[in-house]
Amino acid sequence: MGRHGTIAGRKAAQDSKRAAVFTKYARAITVAAKSGGDPEYNAALRVAIEKAKGISMPNENINRAIKKGTGELAGETYEEMSFEGYGAAGVAVIVNALTDNKNRTASAVRSTLDKYGGNLGTQGCVSYMFSQKGVIFIEKTEAISEDALMEKALEAGAEDIVIHDDSFEIQTEPAEYNSVHGALTDAGYIIAESDMEYLPSMEAFPSNEQDIKNLKKMIDVLDDNDDVQKVYTNSGIDLYEA
């Protein structure tokens, strides 16, 4: 499944860092809840809650994160930040973060890229190599008809469907993401993973073994940072593979 890895592989990586993932998802729920605490009327919150439940986050944690976002509970104020730069072998990197301390987060991202053979760049230096898309994964099962799924997704406004060994990847324009996600859920499909992603329009294929090790370690360290929500690269090889 290329740079995405398999669903099982990504979930195994999440499971190994469950506490850190809980923290990241709780922050995402808190930020989404600022626009309203009822997921029925707040699509971003509904998706954030579904993702949290997908990793078995306790309802208590989810409800507490919502209340922080709506102001019912005191809590930190998180701001969104985005960083662009390069990893080893010139691989383009975008790092999205939610933080309560911009200086701390910027310093951590910069030092991590520097340490593993890359460098932090200016806004816009690599984002032109990516397109923002809604991405929805549905695990393949014998009960799912490929034709029926494609028909439902395209009817709801999906832009493209990519068939992987273990999943269907439905891609949408950002404006259509919530409606496609909702239509598939309403139709009874189980969403394995979904989010707004940066998909590369041009890929890099690092071949040097040390560069690949540095890229994997860079991503691992960034993923361990509570402030970092997502790391995107234009690597054409799977950097999450062990």
Over residues 131-185, the pLDDT tens digits come to 999 999 999 999 999 999 999 999 999 999 999 989 999 999 999 998 999 899 9
Of the listed ranges 1-10, 52-61, 120-129, 218-227, the one predicted with least confidence = 1-10
Burial of 216 (0-12, 13-18, 19+ CB in 10 A): buried
| 145 Rama sector, left if φ>0, alpha if ψ -120 to 50, beta otherwise | beta
The pLDDT of 91-101, averaged and rounded, is 97
Q: Please tell me which residue, 2 or 169, carries the higher pLDDT value.
A: 169
Tell me, what's the pLDDT at 175? 93
Residue matched to tokens 């919150």: 45
10-19, 25-34, 47-56: which has the highest mean pLDDT? 25-34
Tell me, what's the pLDDT at 1? 31
Alpha helices for the chain (secondary structure H)? 7-15, 18-33, 43-54, 59-70, 102-115, 146-156, 177-186, 209-224
* Matching CATH number, 79-128+202-233, of 3.30.70.980, 3.40.50.2300, 3.30.420.40, 3.30.470.20: 3.30.70.980
> Apex CA 40: angle with CA 38 and CA 46, to 5°?
80
pLDDT, tens digit, 9 for 90 and up, residues 33-92 = 999 999 988 888 988 998 898 888 999 999 999 999 999 998 788 999 999 999 999 999
Residue extent(s) of CATH 1.10.10.200 domains in the chain: 2-70
Residue extent(s) of CATH 3.30.70.980 domains in the chain: 79-128+202-233, 130-200
| pTM assigned to the model | 0.86
Q: Which CATH superfamily is domain 130-200 in?
A: YebC, transcriptional regulation domain (3.30.70.980)
Of the listed ranges 6-10, 19-23, 220-224, the one predicted with least confidence = 6-10
Which CATH architecture best describes the domain 2-70?
Orthogonal Bundle (1.10)
